A and B are shown apart, each in its own frame.
Chain A
Amino acid sequence: MPYIKDKRPETMLLEGEWNVGAYKYKAPHLLEEFVQGLKEKKLIGSMCIGCGKVIIPPRNICGRCHQRMEGRITVSNWGTVVCFVTSPPVEKGKFQVFGIDPVESGLIQEGSVLIPTFVRFDGADANIVTELCNVDPKDVFIGMRVKAIWAEEPQGQLSDLVGVEPI
């Protein structure tokens, strides 16, 4: 049955904004260590002394053991695709990665696709979400072996890990 839109008197609307300004999240030690590692092209995770689990990006509390994850461990730059998704062709001004428009800045061409991927780096027990690059979307499969792509000159920031590519 087709939906017929009746003519109705318009409800009064008031404009409202929800501009709450900037938040400042505390991030001592852990994130600092992680990005310092990225600068040296290293992936530093935190390890629980209780159960031996390695979490990357690092987290400071192991919920299973309910204790601090005191250990630090560098995991491999190689990993496995746990799952992935293929985006529709990207358009200019539609989305941002690390706060920049990748189309506008020339990182990717308009019309190409992105493949956000969960990667489990060897030695880690948690997945990291990053982009799968330099591959035809048709060729990607779960369990695919990949390696990290680093920025040419790592600055010690999260965008130093550009993505992963097939080995």
Chain B
Amino acid sequence: MVKRVAIVGYAQSHHQYDMQKTREDMVFEVAKEALDNAGISRKDIDTVVTASTDFLDGRTISNVFLSMAVGAYMKDESKVEEDGASAALYALMRILSGSHEIALVEAHTQASTFNPHQVSFYTLDPLFDRQIGLLNSVSAAALQARMYMDANDVSEEHLAMVSVKNLMNAADNPNAHRRMPDLSVEEVLDSKLYYDPIRELTMSPISDGACALVLASEERAREITDFPVWIEGVGTCHDAYLRDRNLLRLDSLRKAAEDAYKMAGITDPFSELDVIEVSERFAHEELMIYEALGLCREGKGKVFIDKWVTQRDGELPVNPSGGALAADPVCATGLIRMVEAAKQIRGEADGHQIPGAYRALAHGQFGICAQKNIVYILGGE
């Protein structure tokens, strides 16, 4: 990148199932906390980018009533109808354009307002898939999981082990929604079956939550903080619609990761990255993500789980915060991954800190079966 942009402040809510707060209250708290964390005030922000979807918010043009809460009153503001990580990309571009110096990025979803899985049905092709009515985000993921398991000889135990790893990690993360310190593989396999092999504990919970971060240009970042977290690389890619692509692989993630590695000058991600935070809406997705990120060969994702490589004390920890399986406020999930990665680099991830984390990868996804993917490489000073 010609210019450098850093994360200088962040905040996230305590994600939970049924938050007794209005959407505006929840967003206000994280926006305020992120500004406090950066040590700046509303006056210093040049631009605000929020992320949520009208469907999940239950109102169209859902940012009209949010501007007050997020701190965008009488400011340059826009909204991304996607994951918060995409909103961060938008904010990053606005800073790189030179017209803005400091941006506030915010993403939220109150899943208790409306069931996100029900919404997912309306993202399907209205001419065919919706007429038939068999698909939704969970059944599509189950089809993908079965396909992946069959092709790569992955068992249900492998998926359960991913859940156990993430949910046990989440036990030390006070912001996580599903925190299970004593979870066993048997318990996961005994949990409620939705669409075989997707179970309650191998899919992400529906959470209420919000997340905010402050981005600043290099010059301003140095004024604001002694510990900026630099955005070293970013890549995003959008795959074809569910039916027209190879569900066995996350090709768009592979492309996004390659772009991000190239920008950050990474040639061997496995040895050059210290910690990884990914948005795995379903347990099998995490195995597919290992492969798409180029950490291992195609179809060998299960080896990482078998050999404990991605445990918190493993060679390359993945999701020390618990990931999306631990808390999934739909639009905020990707942005939370960025915040968790930044926390690791700053050494502020109290209970789930990876010692000496210097370079991290954060991943966000959107769409059924991870149609769109975005990858960030973050690094310390």
Contacts and interface: CB of A to CB of B under 8 A. Distances in A.
Interface of A: 14, 16, 18, 20-21, 23-28, 30, 59-64, 66-68
B177 interface: no
Contacts of A23: 58, 113-114
B19 A26 contact: yes
11 contacts: A16-B126, A20-B55, A24-B113, A25-B113, A26-B19, A28-B21, A61-B25, A61-B69, A63-B69, A64-B73, A66-B41
Contacts of A64: 73
Contacts of A14: 126-127, 131
Interface residues on B, range: 20 to 34
Contacts of A25: 22-23, 58, 113
A24 B122 contact: no
Interface string B224-240: 00000000000000000
Contacts of A18: 122
Interface of B: 19-25, 28, 31-32, 41-42, 55, 58, 67-69, 71-74, 110, 112-114, 118-119, 122, 126-127, 130-131
Contacts, number: 66
A51 B118 CA distance: 42
B28 A68 contact: yes
Contacts of A60: 22, 24-25, 28
A24 B25 CA distance: 16
A42 to B, nearest CB: 22
Contact of A26 (B73, B112, B119): B112
Contacts of B118: 20-21
A66 B131 contact: no
Contact of A62 (B41, B55, B68, B74): B68
Contact of B71 (A30, A59, A66): A66
B20 A26 contact: yes
Nearest to A68: B28
A61 B131 CA distance: 43
A30 B32 contact: no
A66 B36 CA distance: 12
